[in-house]
Every structure is written in C-alpha cells, then in structure tokens.
Chain A
Amino acid sequence: MGRYVIRRVLQFIPTVLGTMFLLHYLTSLGIQLTGNPVRALFGDRTPTPAMMAALSERLNLNDPCLTQTGNPCIGLFGERLVNIAQWDFGISLTGQREVTDIIGAALPYTIRIALIGFVFEAFVGILAGVLAGLRSGGFLDYFVKISTTLIIAVPIFVLGIVIREFVAVKFGNQLRADPNFPEIISRGFLAAGYKPDYPWASLFIPGLVLGATSLAVTARLTRTSMVENVRADYVRTARAKGLMPRRITGVHTLRNSLIPVVTSLGVDLGVLMGGAVVTETIFNVPGIGRVAAQSARTGDASVVIGIVTLAALIFLVANLLVDILYAVLDPRIRYE
C-alpha cells in the first residue's frame, strides 16, 4: 500500500511540471502572437515608449524571447518556477496585485459554491440513480434518464440565465414584495447573485446550477452500477439464502454499487473546485473561475497560470486521494 502511494506521488511531479510548462508555453505564445498585452491597457490612447517600458518591466513582460514567435522561453519558465517555489506567482496585469493575493481572496467563494453544488449533486444524484436502478426499465427509470439527459443537453449558460431571471428576479420579487416573508429566503436564497450580506444563502442557487450537470452524471452512474450489481452472483446467492430484499438492497447492492460513484464524486469535487467559469460569471460570484475567465480575455498570463495551475493541482490531488481510496476498497488495484 505504502509503495503504491509513493509511486503515485512520484508520478504526480512530472504531471504538475508538464501542466505548468504547457500553460507557460501557451501564454508566452499568446504574447508572441498578439503583442504585448500592456499596450491594450492604454486603449485608444497611444502610450509613450517610456511608459510601455516601465510597465513591461514591472510585469516581467520585457524578456526579449516574448517577441520571438515559437520560442518556448525556457529561461523565463525557469525563473517562474524558482519564483513559484518561493510562493511568488507574479503580479497581475490590471491592478498589479500579487497573484497569490488574488487567488487567496477568490478561493473561499469557489470553495463555498463548490461545496453546495457537491452536496446537492451527491445527495440528489445518488437518490435518483438508486431509484432508477432498482426499477430498471420502469417509469422512474425513464423519467430519471430523460430528465438528466435533458439537463446535460441544455447549455449551462442558458440554464443559468433562465434560472437567474425567472427564479431569482421574477419569483424572488414576488416574495420580496411581501414584508412578512422571511428575508433570509427572499433576499438571501433568492438573491440575484452573490451578496455579501448572505455569504452562504446567496450562493445556494448558483451552487445548484453548478451541481446540476454533475448531478446528471452521478445519477446515471449510480443507476448503471445498481443495475449491474442487482444481477451479480452474490446478490443472487443472498436472495437464495433467503435474506430480506430490503437488506439485500440496502447492505449488499447499494454498498457495492457506490464504489465507482464515490470515486467519481471525489474527482468531481476537484472539477467543481477548478472554477465554475460560466456559473460564477452569471451569478457574479467573485471566485477563481470568474477571475480566470476575465484574465484569459485580457491576456493576464500570470493570473491564468496561477489559477489554472492551482485548479490542476486540486484536480490531481483529488484524483490521487480517490485512487488511494479505491486501492483501499478494491485490493486488486494495488497489484496492477
């Protein structure tokens, strides 16, 4: 077991370095192809060369390799790694803030919305999947199948905007008009976006939207897994032994069916934390997804690299934990 974990952790290092280099190369290439992003800060007003030079130097964008298209800027990458090892991710293009500060400020919101989405997804998803799986081919099965597929099929931005406009604004305004209605619901849970006065409640709807797509995945996976296990030999044996059907479902089938679901959920938590770009934008959640999307658009390389590296790290750690968990649950994996 210990050796397995050590092997996995060692594999981890080249992956993280590879991800960082990929991002570094992409953003460098972006600057080489589209020009110095500092220029865009000045818009229609042409800056003096002195101004451009001073800002470029401050932002570490004055390396000559950034003008040679295709140059991977290995030197710059090395510099970046050394800095990152000292917990210095550089400063942002707009506002010139420390990237670590930016991420530190944004992360709590992302953690909150991801947790809400995760709980929703796990709870409702598993419940729907189990119900569908037990009566495979029945009405509930079809209902769950069609409704979850529909959720996957609707683009998330359409879903988010429709919910914001109709549930939070329209329906919420009806409730807000009634002074006797509890404010925590009318102004908190039904807020039109993130609201500092209600740090958790106002993230409820965005969290549900975020969890909705993964909910469909969880439900379908649970269903498939249930269906398989219901027909497994050990269930047949249990039934032959005359065990109560409730006990067979509750203890044997469910527990075994949930192994793949739990692992998938673990990976999902990593994915959710990786930044909900669209949901955070629509519901004005100041999390890392919103910041990353803005930065990618303005060519803010250090912020993008910082955030995406972090997201990748979270994903990889989640994956690692899940794999270890899997190895604990299923001894065959260890000897692969």
Chain B
Amino acid sequence: MSDLIPSATSDEPALQSSSSEGAGATGGTASLWSDARKQLIRNPIFVISSLYILVVSSMALFPGLWTDQDPRNCIISQSRKPPQDGHPFGFNILGCDYYSHAIYGAQPSLSIAIGATVGIVLIGGTLGLLAGFYGGWVDTIISRVVDIFLSLPFLLGALVFLTVVKVQNILTITMVLVILGWTTIARVMRGAVLSAKNLDYVLAARSLGAGNLRIMLRHILPNAIAPVTVLATIALGSFVAAEATLTFLGVGLQPPEESWGIMITDHQVYFLEAPWLLIFPTTLLIGTVLSFILMGDALRDALDPKMR
C-alpha cells in the first residue's frame, strides 16, 4: 500500500539537485535560510498551515486551554447523543463528551508523529551521513540494510512488527514507524553527503587538517539540512495518517487510550446514524496531515533557489 512517505520519495530528485545547488553556494547557507524565511512569511499557504499546526499543537500540549471536561467521565445513557449546548461534538458510544475526546486525542496522534520523525531524522540522518562520508564497506553494509527495510511493504511490515511486540502503545508504534521509515532519510542524506564530499571547500578544510568529525558536522551536514527538513515535515503528516490506518487494521493504539485514529475507526460504522462521530475527528486529522504536507512543499520551494 505505497510508501510510508509518498510525496517525500517522489520529490527526491528535486531535493538532491537542490542540495547540490546549496552546496555550490557555499557560505551562503545563512542567507539561503533568511531568504527562505522572507519568502515563507509572504506565502499564505505556509502561514495558514503553520497557524493550524500551532492550534493543534496547543491542543496536544495544553488540553486544559481548550476544555475543562474530563474525557473519561462518561454516562452510558448519553450514548451517541448529537452535538448540543456545552457539548459541541456530541457524545461517543460510551456516553463520553466527544469534544474533550477530540482535544485529548491530539496528544497521542502528535506524539507518535513527532517522536517518529525525530527518530527517523536521528537514525536515518546518522547512518546516511556515515555511509556517504566513509563510503567503502561502511556504505555497502548500510546500503544493504537500507535495502532490506525498504523492501518490506509498509503496512505489512507494520502488521508483522506490531503483532509481534503485542503491546501497542505510543512508544511501540513510534518505534515501528521509525524502523520502517528511517530509510528514506538515510538515502537522501547519503546523496547530499556524496555530492558535497568532494567539493573544493571540503577538500580545503581537510588539507588544513580538519578532523573527520569536524568536516562532517561543520562542512557537510549543513548541506543536507534543507532536504532533510523538507522530508521531515512531510513525514510528520504521513505519520499522523499512518497512526489512523494502523488503528483501522487493529494494530494501532488500544482504548482506553484516545487518539484520532481510534475515534475514526471506532465510529465510522455509525456514520449514517451519528455522522458527527466520524466527521469531527476525520476533519481534524485531514487538516493536520494537509498542513504538514503543504508546509513541507512551501519549505522546499523556499529552500530551492532554482524555484525562484
């Protein structure tokens, strides 16, 4: 069922070229970013997406700001009652306030997405950097491992992993997403490093006696930041959607935990009877995924000088 980060892989050639371009404009990294910032602020899509993400993040971080109801306080006789005064989203099957559920549901969904993204950037980034920088057998081994994980179909792989670990909580789901998702970042990082490795200024730094670590961190890494940032932003969106799909397949988070994925999966059968139970969480989720992807797009356009 397609890649984990579809839009990310697709745009890879563009990213690679952008990174080499960035490498060409050595020393201009700072101005590249400040230019990008100026362009982004003028981009209405980026601004709206960022605002949406800000709102959703505040739900995740400070649910108390949005609701003073306890989502676990349920009265079974209120089961599936429609939206009403004081309960704008109505009630779920067990008669819990659905609005507060939706607010509290943001946290697990976003925790998984952010955790998994940090994970793939750290693991994929490090391995890609090592493979590209050292080449030789290091590259061979890392590239084969990348191939192995890349060859696992995403959903089937996740099914196998999650049925094995059997405990399906935020941590394990995040880990599985990292395990199946790091390869994309590793490949992009490796490509960016390869193209930067033999550039004149890197050779110059080496001839001046700079150590491997210093060359990697100070001279090569900055070249890869732009494409990795773009990929990571898009990955954030994909992971939010992935959490919901895994729940649908029965290997996602388990109640009494509340996440948007659980809310969507649990209530879609009641679509006819109680459509609000499906519409509210789905809208929140689609908005979040959309915002992340559009932010990633805008970032790429801003960071790629060729696009100007």
Direct contact of A and B (CB under 8 A): yes
Residues of A within 8 A of B (CB): 11, 14-15, 18-19, 22-23, 26-27, 29-30, 33-34, 145, 149-150, 152-158, 161, 165, 210, 213-214, 216-218, 220-221, 224-225, 227-228, 231, 260, 264, 268, 271-272, 274-279, 289, 292-293, 296-297, 299, 304, 307-308, 311-313, 315-316, 319
Contact between A216 and B6 (Cβ–Cβ < 8 Å)?
yes
Tell me, in angstroms, the Cα distance from A157 to B264 when the chains sit together.
10
Contact between B13 and A22 (Cβ–Cβ < 8 Å)?
no
Q: Can you name 11 A-B pairs with beta carbons within 8 Å?
A: A15-B147, A155-B282, A210-B1, A217-B3, A217-B10, A220-B7, A220-B10, A220-B11, A271-B1, A311-B151, A313-B151
Question: How close is A192's CB to chain B, nearest CB, in angstroms?
Answer: 16
Answer yes or no: B237 CB below 8 A from chain A CBs: yes
If A152-B289, A316-B147 touch, whether A277 touches B155 (CB-CB below 8 Å) is: yes
Answer yes or no: B232 CB below 8 A from chain A CBs: no
Tell me, in angstroms, the Cα distance from A150 to B294 when the chains sit together.
10
Tell me, in angstroms, the Cα distance from A311 to B268 when the chains sit together.
30
Tell me, in angstroms, the Cα distance from A220 to B9 when the chains sit together.
11
Tell me, in angstroms, the Cα distance from A272 to B154 when the chains sit together.
11
Question: How close is A159's CB to chain B, nearest CB, in angstroms?
Answer: 11
If A27-B160, A152-B7 touch, whether A161 touches B268 (CB-CB below 8 Å) is: yes
Contact between B164 and A153 (Cβ–Cβ < 8 Å)?
no
> A157's closest neighbor in chain B, by CB?
B248
Residues of A within 8 A of B14 (CB): 224-225, 228
Contact between B3 and A271 (Cβ–Cβ < 8 Å)?
yes
Contact pattern, B 223-239, Cβ under 8 Å of A = 1, otherwise 0: 00000000000000110
Q: Which among A153, A220, A272, A296 is the interface contact of B160 at CB below 8 angstroms?
A: A296
Taking CB atoms and an 8 Å cut-off, the chain B residues in 231-279 that contact chain A are 237-238, 241, 244-245, 248-250, 264-265, 268, 271
Answer yes or no: B215 CB below 8 A from chain A CBs: no
Tell me, in angstroms, the Cα distance from A315 to B151 when the chains sit together.
6
Tell me, in angstroms, the Cα distance from A289 to B1 when the chains sit together.
9
> Which size bracket describes the interface of B in this complex?
35 or more
Tell me, in angstroms, the Cα distance from A315 to B157 when the chains sit together.
13
> A145's closest neighbor in chain B, by CB?
B297
If A19-B151, A34-B166, A221-B11 touch, whether A293 touches B144 (CB-CB below 8 Å) is: no
Answer yes or no: B302 CB below 8 A from chain A CBs: no
Answer yes or no: B26 CB below 8 A from chain A CBs: no
Contact between A311 and B160 (Cβ–Cβ < 8 Å)?
no
Answer yes or no: B201 CB below 8 A from chain A CBs: no
If A15-B148, A153-B289, A157-B248 touch, whether A315 touches B164 (CB-CB below 8 Å) is: no
Question: How close is A261's CB to chain B, nearest CB, in angstroms?
Answer: 9
Answer yes or no: B52 CB below 8 A from chain A CBs: no
Contact between A18 and B144 (Cβ–Cβ < 8 Å)?
yes
> B3's closest neighbor in chain A, by CB?
A271
Which 10 pairs from chain A and chain B are nearest by CB?
A274-B153, A30-B164, A312-B151, A153-B289, A296-B159, A221-B10, A18-B148, A217-B10, A153-B290, A15-B147
Answer yes or no: B138 CB below 8 A from chain A CBs: no
Residues of A within 8 A of B161 (CB): 26
Contact between A277 and B151 (Cβ–Cβ < 8 Å)?
no
Tell me, in angstroms, the Cα distance from A307 to B153 when the chains sit together.
10
Residues of B within 8 A of A278 (CB): 1, 155, 245, 248-249
Residues of B within 8 A of A297 (CB): 159, 163, 250
Contact between A218 and B159 (Cβ–Cβ < 8 Å)?
no
Other A-B contacts than A149-B297, A224-B13, 7 sampled, CB-CB below 8 A, are A152-B6, A155-B282, A217-B2, A277-B249, A278-B155, A307-B156, A313-B151
Question: How close is B240's CB to chain A, nearest CB, in angstroms?
Answer: 9
Question: How close is A25's CB to chain B, nearest CB, in angstroms?
Answer: 9
Residues of B within 8 A of A30 (CB): 163-164, 166
Contact between A228 and B156 (Cβ–Cβ < 8 Å)?
no
Contact between A275 and B293 (Cβ–Cβ < 8 Å)?
no
Residues of A within 8 A of B164 (CB): 26-27, 29-30, 33
> A224's closest neighbor in chain B, by CB?
B14
Q: Which among A275, A296, A313 is the interface contact of B1 at CB below 8 angstroms?
A: A275
Residues of B within 8 A of A158 (CB): 264, 268, 282
Residues of B within 8 A of A27 (CB): 160, 164
Question: How close is A223's CB to chain B, nearest CB, in angstroms?
Answer: 10
Residues of A within 8 A of B290 (CB): 149-150, 153
Residues of A within 8 A of B2 (CB): 213-214, 217, 268, 271-272
Answer yes or no: B145 CB below 8 A from chain A CBs: yes
Tell me, in angstroms, the Cα distance from A127 to B286 when the chains sit together.
26
Contact between A225 and B13 (Cβ–Cβ < 8 Å)?
yes
Residues of B within 8 A of A260 (CB): 13
Residues of A within 8 A of B238 (CB): 152
Tell me, in angstroms, the Cα distance from A34 to B7 when the chains sit together.
37
Q: Which among A11, A155, A156, A308 is the interface contact of B153 at CB below 8 angstroms?
A: A308
Residues of B within 8 A of A22 (CB): 148, 152
Contact between B159 and A216 (Cβ–Cβ < 8 Å)?
no
Contact between B237 and A279 (Cβ–Cβ < 8 Å)?
no
Question: How close is B291's CB to chain A, nearest CB, in angstroms?
Answer: 9
Tell me, in angstroms, the Cα distance from A26 to B164 when the chains sit together.
6
Contact between A155 and B144 (Cβ–Cβ < 8 Å)?
no
> A282's closest neighbor in chain B, by CB?
B248
Q: Which among A152, A274, A316 is the interface contact of B293 at CB below 8 angstroms?
A: A152
Contact between B155 and A312 (Cβ–Cβ < 8 Å)?
no
Answer yes or no: B110 CB below 8 A from chain A CBs: no
Question: How close is A183's CB to chain B, nearest CB, in angstroms?
Answer: 28
Question: How close is A168's CB to chain B, nearest CB, in angstroms?
Answer: 15
Interface centre among B14, B145, B153, B245, by most A CB within 10 Å? B153
Contact between B148 and A311 (Cβ–Cβ < 8 Å)?
no
